[in-house]
Structure 1
């Protein structure tokens, strides 16, 4: 799994845990729905940290909590 896939999975898992749709996350975070859709659909390969911070704010978690997950423990090497 690469970092982009891990970010998508984490967003999906957090939304599922909170019973939030992508649209609801967009509304609570202030990130446009098209941006959130692009991240979740893999259209955007590199979600910026500012966007992730806004999503975390919408989820009422810290950036540390977002990345404090086993998904990010064993990522593929990005530089080949």
Structure 2
């Protein structure tokens, strides 16, 4: 079972810096999803910046979301 996201920091490059409950910090690239259906709205940076933690994953006001599993499995460890 993958850990929950406990904090999100939105980056200007359509990346999310995520802190998981196991204290890992990982980076998730949203760019590959921006041309798909409901995720197209995320191309507007002011809207993209409204990402928030919900139910262990990330969501936006119009209910676009990524589960904790997607976020953990498709993210990369942060490089210091």
What's the TM-score once normalised by structure 1's chain length? Answer: 0.37
- Which has the larger share of strand? 2
What's the TM-score once normalised by structure 2's chain length? Answer: 0.37
Relative contact order higher in (CA < 8 Å, ≥ 6 apart): 1
